[in-house]
Amino acid sequence: MANASIDVIALHGALDAAREARELSWRQLAKLLDVSPSTMSRLANGKNPDVDAFAAMVRWLDVPAEKFMIDDAELERRTSEPPDLVAELAPLLRARPDLQPEDVEHLEQLIGSAVRRFNADRQAKAD
């Protein structure tokens, strides 16, 4: 990836899901990560964390940093059109410790199927 950025939405979502699963507040999570609570607030507002904070976050999530990297063209596409629901939910599902990879895959398929059905119903009504 020549020009890449942090996928802040996915990172925040994964942290939020893991935080909730462990019954932590954002302040408690910030303390565990040794970052300021304002770093967590900036992340929630779509701002990139600094390199040290990013490293601490992916280490805590036990996920390779590359999972939260996005090329600039994809970032531009995401900001110009509504996000895909399954893609947006996938990091949250993967971050849940109570779900196995096959559970996540099954849920992604179910959600994707439902979204396609909703879109088809809307299109039929529009025609």
Residues with Cβ within 8 Å of residue 90, at least 6 apart in sequence: 10, 104, 108
Q: Domain range holding 61?
A: 4-126
- The stretch 36-60 carries a mean pLDDT of 91
pLDDT digits (tens, 9 = 90+) for 52-109: 999 999 999 999 999 899 887 776 766 666 667 877 788 888 888 898 888 888 888 8
- The stretch 41-46 carries a mean pLDDT of 85
CB 10 within 8 A of CB 86: no
Beta bridge partners of 4: 71
Number of domains the chain contains = 1
* DSSP notation for 29-98: HHHHHT--HHHHHHHHTTPPPPHHHHHHHHHHHT--GGGGEEEHHHHHHHHHSPPPHHHHHHHHHHH-TT
Going by the DSSP 8-state scheme, the letter that residue 3 receives in this structure is S
pLDDT interval class at 28 (50, 70, 90): very high
**Which CATH number is 88's domain given?**
1.10.260.40
Query: For helices 85-95 and 101-126, what crossing angle results, to 10°?
Result: 160
